[in-house]
Amino acid sequence: MNLGLIGLGKMGNNMRERLRAADIDVVGYDNNPAVSDVADLAALAAALPAPRIVWVMVPSGAITDSVINDLAGVLEAGDLVIDGGNSRFTEDFKHAELLAPKGISFMDAGVSGGIWGLKNGYGLMVGGKKDDVDRAMPIFDALRPEGPRDEGFVHAGEVGAGHYAKMVHNGIEYALMQAYAEGYELLDTKKDIIKDVTGTFKAWQRGTVVRSWLLELLVLALEQDPEFEDIEGYVDDSGEGRWTIEEALANAVPVPTISASIFARFVSRQEDSPSMKAVAALRNQFGGHAVKKAD
């Protein structure tokens, strides 16, 4: 099995390594020549046997647009492009329409797993035609976690469905992180009662209904910096949370918890807070997202 992989940043490079460990022959391209296997997209296409599969793993928006537009000029009929970045689902329709006249298929893949994906595997939500999904399944199987396929992979629907599912996933993620963070602040302010905040969270990891991977990551972050002294309580949002709320408004679906978590992030940009430090630490743990160091 052969794959072209464009974008070898934090996730893309780990994905290349995991795929190669599963005997997928990966040709990677990045604008950083130190990590790239080929000099440009034309060389990438030339290095892959036809019909080709090319996975795009670059930042959403203008960069993804540019890459897919350039791929349209170097790929051929019968090839398949998969956008595995965090594009908005409406962009998928545009990209599929751009490639279709050239006979190039398109799929979208929502990917979750962050910097831990190399070891643990990636949760995958894909949108596209069944024939294209079946064709790319060895790649999905190599990337997903071990265990039953349906517990780490879903063909969510037609083009756009993968990124729509990932958008909602991230909206839920925002709310879960905010709940843990608010709990942290409440525990941390009652030091006369709670003597071991980190230990309290750690004790919830088995047997309780709030156990989760996010909880494990919060414990890891607390063990590294119990008072979050090295992190400012400033938290960005990468788009999916806002898009989730916009979809909720368009469809008259109440999402008060997700909405509140977004607004809490806006508060974090106005003043430092313990709960926002916890959210910042969580984002750094699971995704390697940048944090602002405290003065």
The helix or strand, by DSSP H or E, that contains position 68, with its residue range, turns out to be helix 62-74
Neighbouring residues of 77: CB distance < 8 A, sequence distance ≥ 6: 102, 103, 104
Verify whether residue 173 is a known catalytic residue. Answer: yes
Q: Which of 166, 182, 240, 277 is catalytic?
A: 166
CB of 276 closer than 8 Å to CB of 268:
yes
CB of 266 closer than 8 Å to CB of 241:
no
What is the Cα–Cα distance from 45 to 74, expressed in whole angstroms?
7
Neighbouring residues of 150: CB distance < 8 A, sequence distance ≥ 6: none
Verify whether residue 129 is a known catalytic residue. Answer: no
SS3 content of the chain, % helix, strand, coil (to 5): 55, 10, 35
What is the Cα–Cα distance from 9 to 7, expressed in whole angstroms?
6
Pairing of strands 25-29, 53-56: unpaired
Q: Which of 17, 102, 173, 277 is catalytic?
A: 173
Catalytic residues: 166, 173
